[in-house]
Amino acid sequence: LAKTTQPISMDSYEGQEVNITCSHNNIATNDYITWYQQFPSQGPRFIIQGYKTKVTNEVASLFIPADRKSSTLSLPRVSLSDTAVYYCLVTQWEYGNKLVFGAGTILRVKS
Amino acid sequence: EAGVAQSPRYKIIEKRQSVAFWCNPISGHATLYWYQQILGQGPKLLIQFQNNGVVDDSQLPKDRFSAERLKGVDSTLKIQPAKLEDSAVYLCASSLNPGTSGGEGDTQYFGPGTRLTVL
């Protein structure tokens, strides 16, 4: 199973753009990148998923370079309510799309 | 659309006691997952059901943990007997139809979890 590496924590201020980078060196051709967000006392919530280049939805953007060895989650103009843990996962079709969570990145947004 | 339901939300038991958690997935979702999340760590998959069959239970401590999904809808996870190290949040998730490469079908939707404290 592919493993991911992401920063343990990040700090930001309200209104700023936050970029969280994740490395995943042994990603396979059929694998794709998935990001989840988790607030205290809640289950993880799906944010975005992508295979290559750029994906954007109403919440975030996901940038994946051509070599697919890393990816960057971009959160535009964060607010205090974006304070949470963000998980980067490689979803592997070969393994039945099993989710293998790491420790995630704790994002703290300050006023 | 109703989300994944779990009960109870909190449970405190003594070690060596038994405990059961219940999960009702999103209507129509074929796949159901149970995860264990220890404080400060990411969730760890315990067992995955596809309808009422087990797909993956490689990380389920089978000497004390059991799970069932008899009718392919709701599911129960049981711990008997509980140990101190079982203190964690137990999360249930469901997805529509995994096994496809990408797409909405394999997105997992999580419930709020059950926080278990073993004393």
Instruction: Give B1's pLDDT tier (boundaries 50, 70, 90).
Output: low
Which element (helix H / strand E) includes A23? strand A18-23
Quick one: closest CA in B to A36, which residue? B108
Domain ranges of chain A: 9-110
pLDDT at B101: 47
CB of A16 closer than 8 Å to CB of A76: no
Q: How far apart are CA B118 and CA A96, in angstroms?
A: 33
Q: In the CATH scheme, what is the homologous superfamily, with its name and number, of domain A9-110?
A: Immunoglobulins (2.60.40.10)
Within a 10 A sphere around the Cβ of A77, how many other Cβ atoms?
A: 10
- Determine, for residues B113 and A42 on separate chains, whether the beta-carbon distance falls below 8 Å: yes
CB neighbours of residue A57 within 10 Å: 11
**Least Cα separation, residue A13 to chain B (angstroms):** 23
- CA A24 to chain CA centroid, Å, is 12
Contact B99 A93 (CB under 8 A): yes
Q: Name beta bridge partners: B91.
A: B35
Q: What string of pLDDT tens digits covers the 111 residues of chain A?
A: 678 899 999 999 999 999 999 998 878 877 889 999 999 989 999 999 998 889 999 999 999 998 888 999 999 999 999 999 999 988 877 776 678 888 899 999 999
- Who among B41, B45, B111 is closest to A99 (CB)? B45
What is the distance between the terminal CA atoms of chain A, rounded to a whole angstrom?
39
Contact map slice: A 64-103 vs B, CB within 8 A: 87, 91, 93, 96-103
In tens, the pLDDT along B71-111 reads 889 999 999 999 999 999 999 999 987 655 455 557 889 99
- The domain made up of B5-99+109-118 has a fold known as Immunoglobulin-like (2.60.40)
Chain A residues with CB under 8 Å of B95 CB are 97
Phi-psi region of A8 (alpha: psi -120 to 50; beta: other; left: phi over 0): alpha
User: Could you give the CA distance from residue A104 to residue B43 in angstroms, rounded to a whole number?
Assistant: 10
| SS3 annotation, chain B | CCCCEEECCEEEECCCCCEEEEEECCCCCCEEEEEEECCCCCCEEEEEEECCEEEECCCCCCCCEEEECCCCCCEEEEECCCCHHHCEEEEEEEECCCCCCCCHHHCCEECCCEEEEEC
Is residue A52 a contact partner of residue A66, using CB atoms and an 8 Å limit? yes
Contact A94, A1 (CB under 8 A): no
Shortest CA distance from B105: residue in chain A = A97
Q: Among partner residues B42, B107, B109, which is closest to A101 by beta-carbon distance? A: B42
Computed over its alpha carbons, how large is the radius of gyration of chain A?
A: 13
Cα of first residue to Cα of last residue in chain B, in angstroms, is 37
CA of B58 vs chain A CAs: smallest distance (Å): 12
**pLDDT number for residue A56:** 92
What integer pLDDT is reported at residue A28 of this predicted model?
81
Compute the nearest-CA separation of A89 from chain B (Å): 11
| Chain segment B15-37, per-residue pLDDT in tens | 999 999 999 999 999 999 999 99
